[in-house]
Structure 1
Amino acid sequence: MIFGCGYVGRALAQRLLQAGVRVGALTRNADKAAELKALGLQEVVVADLDSDAWHDALSGTYGAVVNCVSSAGGGLAGYRRSYVEGQASILRWAQTQELSAYVYTSSTSVYPQSEGVIVDEAADLSAASESGRLLLEAENLLAAGAPQGVHWTVLRLAGIYGPQRHYILNQLRDGLQVFPGSGAHRLNLVHRDDIVEGILLGLMRRGAAGIYNLADGTPVTKQALVEWIAEQLHCPVPSFDPSQTPPRQLRRGAQVPDRVIDSQKAQGLLGWTPKFPSYREGYRDLL
């Protein structure tokens, strides 16, 4: 059962359907639900995850859960509804199922570290942002409340990109000449298809139950990424203006972090090997 069947969840559903697995999904978007039904999902429920009303709407019996819900918007209150209250609702429903595995996609945004440090799953989280603390609360709910015998996996995802999700590439194709910010901070990326592989490994109960970072292992400064994509497109290389604030920073009210996300644990214990081990392979596949 996939909760939050959006960009990653839909790709996961397609992989599972191709393998002959019966798949159900919950989404809050009626149009998206129609698309999912057309793909061949067993059942699709349109509901708000934080409510328990959807529990009785599901008729199927499921052996595994993937919670890859995104925020419903509405600032920190929306984060709490989607991540914390949504997780709690799934865990209540899970008590009625015979689950073997539960995978939750969290985010490397839980880490407060910056200034170029290497960050692994043991990093200090005491200075996490308000939104990061809500994600950590959702993670902790799963760790403490997974039904007995259920193998649980938390995947902290780096910056997601892939088909139909390549903002910088779109900006260059649209002729953007000046990027706001300095471009000196490192981006940690992970391709959508590699995330799907990580989720599948969690569903197969690979590795110990616990928390794993998923990042391709090739951090790159935003400026270097922009220059490389511009070279591939044979277009002028834009400049960066440090006096302008990047839109993401304006929305979130926080500094853009500069760090290196270490995913060796996932590679060693889960057996996760990225098909796209750097932005080069990933973006070449998109060009």
Structure 2
Amino acid sequence: MAGPHLPDTLLVGCGDLGAAVGRRLADLGHGVVAIRRRGDLVPSPLRGLSADLTREVPDLPPLDLAHLVIALTARPRTEEAYRATYVDGMGRALDALAASGRQPRRAVLVSSTAVYGDLPPDVLIDESTPTRPTDGPARMLLEAEEVFADRVPGGTVLRLSGLYGGDSTFLVDRVREGRITDPHRWTNRIHRSDAAAAIVHLLTRADAPERLYVGTDDEPAQLGDVATHLAARLDAPTPPPADPALGHGKRLSNARLRASGWTPEHPTYREGYAG
């Protein structure tokens, strides 16, 4: 851990996930600086640093750097926005770090399982599965992973499946409004708190992490099954049932992350949507 005066953690991006990671690290006694377009929105006890990474290199404060987390968010979901944020924006943050002469002891880049594209559901996707991005945003995420691997020796990429939990009510709203139109699609998700815990775990575990992990819960599920579970809890219209014979989309495995010592608090959607 850093000395008593200098922060030892840099968050590049501090949306809901980054803030959750920062608070967990602060609870462990780490000093955290978080870059966000509006630094005043960074929650206490994190220290906010205002910078628009799509346009400028941030002016970093003195750091006794141990941990680097890159958890950026791009809007809208276009190739241009993803390049500006994930490739060029991350590059500017890494330029600032290089100018400071600091290299983190541990670093995690948050990426997405979108880089795999869709595979037949009889294929259980893991870290050994070749990537095949099918659109511009996914290609930019994969390019960002490559830049990170080149510029941050020993860094770890965590490819997350669909985040949910916290203030996110996207699927709940669709179920309540009866707007489930593809019940046969296989879906994969991870609760935001479990994703944050996974990042902190990879930063702080005793043994060095591997270079790549898939972050998802224990149970890929067809959308119709998840929606039926939610509809019963919400007293909402019963959605169309899922049919495994018609299943399409990818299924993901978290076996490597599990084997590293991470255990999700919400192993399936049932626990995750219990609140």
Tell me the TM-score normalized by structure 1: 0.82
What letter is aligned with 2:199?
Answer: I
Is 1:193 matched with 2:193?
yes
Corresponding position of 1:139: 145
Mapping 1:260-275, distance limit 5 Å: 260-268=251-259, 270-275=260-265
Percent pairwise identity: 28
Any stretches of 5+ residues in structure 2 without a counterpart? 1-9, 242-246
Deviations 1:50-85 (A, max 9, x none): 44431x253444321100001143721111011111
Structure 1: gaps of 5 or more residues: 241-255
Residues 196-236 of structure 1: CA deviation (Å, up to 9, x unaligned): 11101221254443110011020111111111011122333
Question: 2:57 touches 2:93 (CA, 8 Å); kept in 1?
Answer: no
The answer to whether the 8 Å contact 2:77/2:137 transfers is no
* Residue 7 in structure 1 maps to residue 13 in structure 2: no
How far apart, CA to CA, are the structure 1 residues paired with 2:11 and 2:57? 17
Number of aligned residues: 257
Q: Does 1:129 align with 2:120?
A: no
Partner of 1:66: 69
Q: 2:92 aligns with which of 89, 93, 97?
A: 89
1-structure distance, mates of 2:132, 2:250: 17
2:113 and 2:214 in contact (8 A); partners too = yes
| Contact residue 63 and residue 97 of structure 1 kept, 8 A | no
Q: How many angstroms does 1:11 deviate by? A: 1.0
Post-superposition offset of 1:237: 1.3
Q: Is the 8 A contact 2:214 2:254 kept in 1?
A: yes
Which amino acid letter does the alignment assign opposite residue 166 of structure 2? P
Where in structure 2 are the equivalents of 1:32-111 lying within 5 Å? Answer: 33-37=39-43, 39-41=44-46, 43-54=47-58, 56-73=59-76, 75-95=78-98, 96-111=101-116
Are 1:113 and 2:113 counterparts?
no
For 1:36 and 1:127, the matched residues in 2 are separated by 32
CA contact (8 A) 1:187 1:219 kept: yes
Letter in 2 for 1:217: D
> Structure 1's 178 and 102: CA in aligned 2 closer, same or farther, altered over 3 A?
closer
Q: What is the DSSP-based 3-state SS (H/G/I as helix, E as strand, rest coil) of the residue aligned with 1:106?
A: strand
| Cα distance in 1, alignment partners of residues 150 and 271 from structure 2 | 38
Q: In structure 2, do the counterparts of structure 1 residues 237 and 160 end up closer, same or farther at CA, with 3 Å as the change threshold?
A: same
**What SS is found at the alignment partner of 2:35?**
strand
SS at match of 1:25: strand
Cα deviation for residue 189 of structure 1 reads: 0.6
Following the alignment from structure 2 to structure 1, what is the Cα–Cα distance between the partners of residues 41 and 137?
30
Change in 2 beyond 3 A, CA 1:178/1:64: closer
What's the counterpart of residue 272 of structure 2?
282
Match of 2:174 in 1: 171
1:183 aligns with 2:188: no
